[in-house]
């Protein structure tokens, strides 16, 4: 017999692992700069909808996993994700009541903060990244957000009704 909340934890784990997989799947060179930031998008969703399940430690662990998988400077994505998840959790009661278009704007701003943190760290270590590779994921992530929100919310609702 499954404990209450076990299905939700399973959904959380599957969605985070899927986001990591989507973040590293190879894309054609013409499409690669436009890859949405899947891991921050999924973490923002869970921080807004279930802040008791996703916290700063989860964001830090996912950031370290993404750093390891992508070959980035260790801790770079972790710091950026902790910042974004902190803001999402801090203001989740205000943010989650917005309509989808306003929520997409907030997600755009959160992804911009995420990319700015990565930009700042890259600047400190002297790594330059083309501007399209830096800011295209922010735009594509905001455009994909309604799909992520709709899908994860419906799956989460299904999971809650079955338990």
The stretch 10-16 carries a mean pLDDT of 93
* pLDDT band, very low/low/confident/very high, at 157 (cuts 50, 70, 90): confident
Q: In this predicted structure, what is the pLDDT of residue 1?
A: 37
Residues in Cβ contact with 40 at an 8 Å cutoff, skipping those fewer than 6 apart:
80, 81, 84, 110, 111, 114, 141
Q: In this predicted structure, what is the pLDDT of residue 161?
A: 67
pLDDT in tens, 81-134: 999 999 999 999 999 899 999 999 999 999 999 999 999 999 999 999 899 999
Q: Which of 45-49, 78-82, 125-129, 145-149 has the lowest mean pLDDT?
A: 125-129
pLDDT in tens, 51-90: 999 999 999 999 999 999 998 899 999 999 999 999 999 9
Rounded CA separation 103/98 (Å): 6
Which of 2, 87, 78, 76 minimizes the C-alpha distance to 51? 87
pTM over 0.85: yes
* pLDDT band, very low/low/confident/very high, at 9 (cuts 50, 70, 90): confident
Rounded CA separation 21/94 (Å): 31
């Amino acid at each position: 017999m499954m404990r209450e909340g076990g299905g939700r934890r399973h959904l959380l784990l599957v969605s985070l692992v899927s986001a990591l997989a989507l973040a590293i799947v190879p894309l054609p060179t013409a499409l690669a700069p436009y890859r949405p930031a899947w891991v921050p998008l999924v973490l923002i969703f869970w921080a807004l909808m279930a802040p008791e399940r996703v916290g700063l430690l989860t964001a830090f662990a996912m950031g370290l996993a993404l750093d390891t998988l992508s070959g980035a400077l260790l801790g770079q994505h972790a710091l950026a994700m902790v910042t974004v998840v902190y803001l999402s959790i801090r203001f989740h009661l205000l943010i989650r009541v917005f309509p989808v278009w306003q929520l997409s704007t907030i997600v755009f701003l959160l992804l911009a903060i995420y990319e700015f943190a990565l930009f700042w760290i890259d600047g400190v270590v002297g790594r330059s990244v083309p501007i399209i590779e830096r800011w295209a994921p922010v735009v594509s992530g905001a455009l994909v957000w309604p799909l992520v929100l709709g899908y994860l919310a419906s799956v989460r609702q299904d999971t809650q009704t079955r338990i």
